[in-house]
């Protein structure tokens, strides 16, 4: 049976003496050491038996070593791969840190300039009145009015800076309410019409929205986003029109503000929502490049997305908000 089991098919003649020793490893027989003699009966003595036992024990140890070695080898390979991956991500993180550091420096420079310049000019106006350099009462009033304007703008800039910092740090509280998309449109469709008409531009609002579809929004923050889109549109549109359009597409509310203004160079569009980014078209005083970054943070907190595209005929700023399942 043993011969059959072990499939020693090459053996033609039956053996006269057989010595067979199993090689056991992990409680299982892994192989056999097999000796046979075709000439003598009782050919094997205790000496050969002991020798075979020794060899089979050694082979079992070798098997164990091989497995441990393979396992170690695999582990070393796995660790090397994960170390390589860690190295790559550390390199990326370092590069990002270096870029952030450069941006932080640029940003500090630009903020300190924007804070300093209105303060310096206001101080100049006030000192020239107090030192008696400007004595004409009309001129004094003119200087005081300019000072007030610059301080109001400075105050707004400081508020925006705080707001952006709070939003970016996730420390801004939102008060979400469920509003139907129809109500949303009604709420904002004509809210800013007067501002647009006041800038001698034409205005239109259009929307085809169902009352049974809802969005989860903070109304005040949404007003801030749409108002920012519209006031930018007014700033960068000399003549023509501004329109507000809302629709629901693929399970999302889409809100678009379109203008017929000066447009934005295509290569600058990818950066338009970055904090403190001003496109090369921006020569307007009181432009800080913070408004759109705030809008992006607000829309992101609403799980929505924000976009801008532009042609020579004007720009389109829009955001999407997920429609809520009822």
Residues 239 and 233: their CA atoms lie apart, in Å, by 11
Q: How far is the CB of 162 from ligand ADP (least distance, A)?
A: 15
**Closest approach of Cβ 262 to ligand ADP, in Å?**
6
Give Cα 237 to chain centroid, integer Å. Answer: 32
Query: Does 164 contact ligand ADP by CB under 6 A?
Result: no
CB of 261 to ligand ADP, least distance (A): 5
Of the chain, the end-to-end C-alpha distance in Å amounts to 75
Nearer to ligand ADP, 92 or 274 (CB): 274
Footprint on residues 212-231 left by ligand ADP (CB under 6 A)? 228
**Residue from the set 221, 245, 278, 302 that interacts with ligand ADP by CB under 6 A:** 278
Comparing CB distances to ligand ADP, the nearer of 71 and 149 is 149
Angle 46-130/137-168 helices, nearest 10 degrees?
A: 170
Cβ pair 257, 203 in contact under 8 A: no
What's the closest the beta carbon of residue 101 comes to ligand ADP, in angstroms? 23
279 binds ligand ADP (CB under 6 A): yes
Query: Which residue in 297, 266, 260, 295 sits closest to 279, CA to CA?
Result: 266
**CB of 97: closest distance to ligand ADP in angstroms?**
25
Q: How far apart are CA 23 and CA 32, in angstroms?
A: 6
- Applying CB under 6 A, does 232 fall inside the site for ligand ADP? yes
Query: Is the Cα dihedral 292, 294, 297, 303 positive or negative?
Result: negative
Return the residues of window 247-276 that contact ligand ADP according to CB under 6 A: 259, 261-262, 264, 272
195 binds ligand ADP (CB under 6 A): no
Q: Name every residue whose Cβ is closer than 8 Å to that of residue 256 and which is 6 or more positions away in sequence.
A: 243, 244, 245, 246, 316, 317, 318
Closest CA to 244 of 234, 235, 263: 234
Q: Which of 17, 213, 227, 281 forms a contact with ligand ADP (CB under 6 A)?
A: 281
In the complex, which residues of this chain contact ligand ADP (CB under 6 A)?
228, 232-233, 236, 259, 261-262, 264, 272, 277-279, 281-282, 287-293, 315
């Amino acid at each position: 049976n043993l011969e059959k089991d072990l499939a020693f098919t090459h053996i033609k003649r039956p053996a006269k003496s057989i010595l067979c020793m199993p090689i056991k490893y992990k409680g299982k027989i892994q192989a056999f050491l097999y000796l046979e003699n075709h000439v003598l009966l009782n050919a094997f003595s205790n000496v050969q038996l002991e020798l075979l036992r020794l060899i089979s024990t050694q082979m079992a140890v070798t098997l164990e070593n091989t497995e441990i070695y393979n396992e170690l080898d695999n582990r070393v390979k796995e660790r090397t791969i994960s170390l390589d991956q860690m190295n790559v991500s550390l390199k990326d993180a370092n590069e990002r840190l270096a870029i952030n550091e450069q941006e932080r420096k640029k940003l500090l420079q630009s903020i300190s300039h924007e804070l300093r310049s209105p303060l310096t000019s206001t101080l100049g106006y006030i000192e020239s009145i107090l030192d008696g350099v400007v004595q004409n009462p009309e001129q004094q009033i003119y200087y005081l009015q300019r000072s007030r304007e610059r301080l109001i703008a400075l105050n707004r800039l400081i508020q925006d800076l705080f707001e952006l910092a709070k939003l970016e740090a996730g420390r801004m509280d939102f008060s979400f309410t469920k509003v139907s998309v129809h109500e949303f449109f009604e709420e904002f469709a004509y809210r800013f019409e007067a501002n647009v008409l006041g800038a001698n531009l034409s205005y239109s609002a259009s929307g085809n929205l169902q009352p049974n579809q809802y969005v989860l929004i903070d109304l005040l923050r949404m007003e801030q986003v749409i108002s920012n889109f519209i006031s930018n549109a007014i700033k960068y549109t000399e003549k023509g029109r501004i329109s507000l359009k809302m629709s629901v597409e693929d399970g999302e509310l889409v809100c678009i503000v379109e203008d017929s203004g000066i447009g934005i160079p295509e290569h600058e569009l990818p950066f338009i929502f970055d904090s403190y980014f001003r496109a090369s078209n921006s020569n307007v005083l009181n432009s800080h490049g913070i408004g759109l970054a705030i809008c992006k943070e607000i829309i992101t907190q609403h799980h929505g997305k924000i976009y801008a595209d532009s042609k020579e005929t004007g720009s389109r700023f829009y955001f999407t908000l997920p429609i809520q399942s009822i």
